[in-house]
């Protein structure tokens, strides 16, 4: 009986871990979509972010790598996300 209950407990643990990973993946995707939509709205309204102005200045000075590193640090981007953000400026 104990082996059966251990197996049952392990099965439910695996199911819960899988369900939580799916849930967090969905939340992450929705968060990324929301951020992308906000960027589109801000760009459409022609609002300027002071940090993005600094990043544009670095780009104008030819400091592309430094701008990418700064975007990573300030916004918490991955290297690819930071590069995409810099390219969108």
Looking at residue 1, its pLDDT comes to: 57
CB-count exposure of residue 52 (10 Å: 0-12, 13-18, 19+): buried
For residue 48, give the 3-state DSSP assignment: coil
φ, ψ for residue 85, nearest 5 deg: -65, -45
φ, ψ for residue 78, nearest 5 deg: -75, 165
Looking at residue 37, its pLDDT comes to: 92
pLDDT tens track for 51-85? 989 999 999 999 999 999 999 999 899 999 999 99
For residue 76, give the 3-state DSSP assignment: coil
Looking at residue 44, its pLDDT comes to: 82
Rg (CA), the chain: 21
């Amino acid at each position: 009986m104990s082996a059966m209950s251990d197996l049952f407990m392990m099965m439910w643990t695996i199911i819960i871990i899988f369900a939580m990973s799916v849930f967090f993946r969905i939340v992450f995707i929705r968060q990324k979509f929301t951020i992308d939509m906000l960027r589109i709205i801000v760009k459409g309204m022609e609002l300027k972010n002071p940090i993005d102005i600094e990043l544009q200045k670095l780009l104008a000075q030819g400091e592309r790598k430094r701008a990418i590193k700064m975007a990573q640090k300030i916004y918490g981007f991955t290297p690819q996300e930071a590069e995409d953000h810099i390219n969108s400026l």
